[in-house]
Amino acid sequence: MKAMISKCMLGFKCRYDGKSKPLDKETLEKLKNKYELIPFCPEEVALPTPRPPARFIGDKIVDINGVDKTKEFLKGAKEALRICKEEKIQIFIGKEKSPSCGIKKTSAYVNGFECKCDAPGLTSKILKEEGIKLISEWDV
pLDDT in tens, 26-79: 999 999 999 999 999 999 999 999 999 999 998 999 999 999 999 999 999 999
Residues 128 and 94: their CA atoms lie apart, in Å, by 12
Strand-pair partners of 93: 5, 135
> What are the DSSP E strand ranges found in the chain?
2-6, 36-40, 54-57, 60-63, 91-94, 105-110, 113-118, 133-136
Q: Please report the pLDDT score of residue 120 as a whole number.
A: 94
Mean pLDDT check: name the lowest of 18-22, 64-68, 107-111. 107-111
Split into its structural domains, the chain has a count of 1
pTM flag (> 0.85): yes
Tens-place pLDDT, residues 83-108 = 999 999 999 999 999 999 999 999 88
Residues 133 and 93: their CA atoms lie apart, in Å, by 9
Residue span of the structural domain in which 85 resides: 2-139
